[in-house]
Copies of this chain bind each other. A is one copy, B any other.
């Protein structure tokens, strides 16, 4: 189906000590690369953005915006889709994840799909945060595909290098990616053929 590889931005939005999310990110990064995709990994911990004071699109003059924000904004715009990894804090989206996404305008994400990967050390796999995230991703324009890939008891299913410790990991990731790739191709083709509204 694909000639050109798809470009995905992979978001990891936790900066908490001993974060399990890094295992999930490594696993997903490997999985996406093996599938032949380009992966741009944006890790909230490495990026170290401050708590949101001024989003990129609030700078009247883009040349006054922090170069890191401008660069991230451009890379988000160039992507064909997004894989968003979320933990769950108090049944809600981890602040570092919302904080990363909220720095950029919806127009950078829109008319592209996203896929939600949620995880937790407990049995519910972060599903409550995933549902809140669906609302957030909908609003910024990268609507999330139907499947949500949930990883309960992540410490038992992935090792520290993100290597899967059971068979469900590969099949679960495949189920999500099958839907995400389909939508990413559909939308890329349509963007290339017809542009997007208002442009």
Contacts and interface: CB of A to CB of B under 8 A. Distances in A.
A54 interface: yes
A138 interface: yes
Contact of A16 (B53, B127, B198): B53
Contact of A132 (B44, B92, B127, B190): B92
Interface in A1-50: 1, 15-17, 44, 49-50
Contact of A131 (B135, B179, B190): B135
Nearest to A99: B95
Interface string A181-199: 0110111011000101110
A125 interface: yes
Interface in A144-195: 144-146, 150, 152, 178-179, 182-183, 185-187, 189-190, 194
A141 to B, nearest CB: 5
Contacts of A52: 15-16, 89, 94-96
A135 B132 contact: yes
For A1, A49, A58, A128, the residue with the greatest tally of chain B CB atoms inside 10 Å of its CB is: A128
A106 interface: yes
A107 to B, nearest CB: 11
Q: Indicate how many identical chains form the complex.
A: 4
A111 interface: yes
A146 B134 CA distance: 11
Contact of A139 (B53, B146, B178, B198): B146
A196 B49 CA distance: 39
Contact of A90 (B140, B178, B182): B140
A192 B111 CA distance: 20
B95 A102 contact: yes
Given A16-B54, A90-B102, 7 more contacts: A15-B51, A123-B150, A127-B127, A131-B131, A138-B144, A143-B183, A182-B194
